[in-house]
């Protein structure tokens, strides 16, 4: 596979449209692997991957782990609780120690933005960002774009709304970069207190009018609302949030006929998304999870197979 030259996958901000397309194309061919009786190809046999998660995750970690295993790479997982990070070692030091064991790639998730970049600047191993602070979560956005393309056949020209806590969302930022590069028209919708300063400079429209957004959009990408946002005074109450910004069947009556409902998970059912919508006909939430494995196989393959 040609056209890939990067050591790391840190963000979508710096990827070109061609690079994003290449990942999506590569994922297409890997998706089939997971449907086989024997879900394994030897593409990365002999490669070693470590996932270093200094922040909780279930699905992203499992998804990366399955992706690595289906490519025949060896993978081990290190999480915050069991690591020396809790003993005062810096994440860079931990990563240096991991690299010293001759690993080919480190998948990192960290609560502080920029950690993947710091590791990439200091290590020879490939670094894959699995979410850094509120900055980026590139594989999530890639799997979202893959799912949209799969379901609607294209991305260019679509109207995509990202709804919820934009301020704290790395999923929103990565999707904004990726979707706008592929020609979608992106609107971010949420409470004014959860809207970051200058977000429109990223090339998106902003609104707090959910009804309008539901009517106009081809894709509704619903974000998880963190329960502690109420405590930090971002919201008067979760009750009001659910009423004003939550999506339920009734509100969806105004939506386009083939609208896609997406969510990066885990969902607070009944809060940002009612259960009947989450499980309903427009929801592609489980397709997103399925496609996540394919995207992560593609990313691992592109970073490691040629190296």
Interacting residues with another protein (CB under 8 A): 13, 90-93, 110-115, 117-118, 132-136, 170, 173, 196-199, 201-202, 232
Question: Which residue among 59, 61, 69, 256 is the active-site one?
Answer: 59
The residue among 196 and 265 lying less far from another protein, judged by its C-beta, is 196
Pairing outcome for strands 126-132 and 105-110: parallel
Tally Cβ neighbours within 10 Å of residue 83. 16
- In the bound complex, what is the minimum distance in angstroms from residue 283's beta carbon to another protein? 27
Q: Which among 301, 285, 302 has a CA at the least distance from the CA of 15?
A: 302
DSSP string, 54-115: ES--SHHHHHHHHHHHHTT-EEEEEEGGGSGGGGT--HHHHHHHHHTT--SEEEEEESSTTH
The residue among 139 and 291 lying less far from another protein, judged by its C-beta, is 139
Tally Cβ neighbours within 10 Å of residue 41. 15
Q: Is 239 a catalytic residue?
A: no
The residue among 67 and 171 lying less far from another protein, judged by its C-beta, is 171
Q: Is 109 a catalytic residue?
A: yes
Question: Which residue among 60, 94, 180, 267 is the active-site one?
Answer: 60
Q: Is 168 a catalytic residue?
A: no
- In the bound complex, what is the minimum distance in angstroms from residue 163's beta carbon to another protein? 18
Q: Is 40 a catalytic residue?
A: no
Collapsed DSSP state (helix, strand, coil) of residue 261: strand
- In the bound complex, what is the minimum distance in angstroms from residue 173's beta carbon to another protein? 6
Question: Which residue among 47, 110, 137, 263 is the active-site one?
Answer: 137
Question: Which residue among 31, 47, 70, 109 is the active-site one?
Answer: 109
- In the bound complex, what is the minimum distance in angstroms from residue 24's beta carbon to another protein? 24
Contacts of 220 (CB under 8 A, 6+ apart): 161, 163, 213, 214, 247, 255, 259, 260, 261, 262
Instruction: Report, as residue numbers or ranges, the catalytic residues.
Output: 59-60, 87, 109, 137
């Amino acid at each position: 596979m040609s056209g890939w030259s990067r050591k790391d996958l840190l963000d979508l901000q710096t990827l070109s449209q061609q690079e994003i397309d290449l990942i999506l194309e590569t994922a297409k061919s890997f998706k089939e692997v997971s449907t086989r009786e024997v879900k394994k190809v030897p593409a990365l046999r002999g490669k070693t991957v470590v996932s270093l998660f200094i922040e909780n995750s279930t699905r992203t970690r499992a998804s990366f782990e399955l992706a690595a295993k289906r490519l025949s790479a060896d993978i081990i997982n290190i999480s915050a609780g069991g690591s020396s990070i809790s003993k005062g070692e810096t994440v860079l030091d931990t990563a240096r120690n991991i690299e010293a064991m001759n690993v080919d790639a480190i998948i990192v998730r960290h609560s502080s933005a920029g950690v993947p970049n710091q590791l990439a600047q200091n290590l020879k191993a490939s670094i894959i960002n699995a979410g850094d602070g509120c900055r980026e979560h590139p594989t999530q956005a890639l799997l979202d774009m893959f799912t949209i393309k799969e379901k609607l056949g294209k991305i260019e020209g679509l109207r995509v709304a990202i709804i919820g806590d934009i301020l704290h969302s790395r999923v929103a930022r990565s999707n904004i970069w990726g979707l706008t590069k592929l020609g979608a028209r992106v609107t971010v919708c949420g409470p004014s207190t959860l809207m970051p300063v200058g977000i429109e400079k990223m090339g998106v429209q902003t609104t707090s009018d959910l009804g309008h957004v539901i009517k106009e959009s081809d894709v509704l990408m619903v974000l998880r609302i963190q329960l502690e946002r109420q405590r930090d005074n971002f919201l008067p109450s979760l009750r009001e949030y659910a009423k004003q910004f939550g999506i339920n069947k009734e509100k969806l009556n105004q939506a386009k006929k083939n609208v896609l409902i997406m969510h990066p998970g885990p969902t607070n059912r009944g809060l940002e998304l009612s259960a009947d919508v989450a499980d309903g006909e427009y929801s592609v939430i489980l397709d997103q999870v399925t496609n996540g494995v394919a995207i992560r196989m593609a990313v691992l393959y592109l970073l490691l197979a040629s190296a």
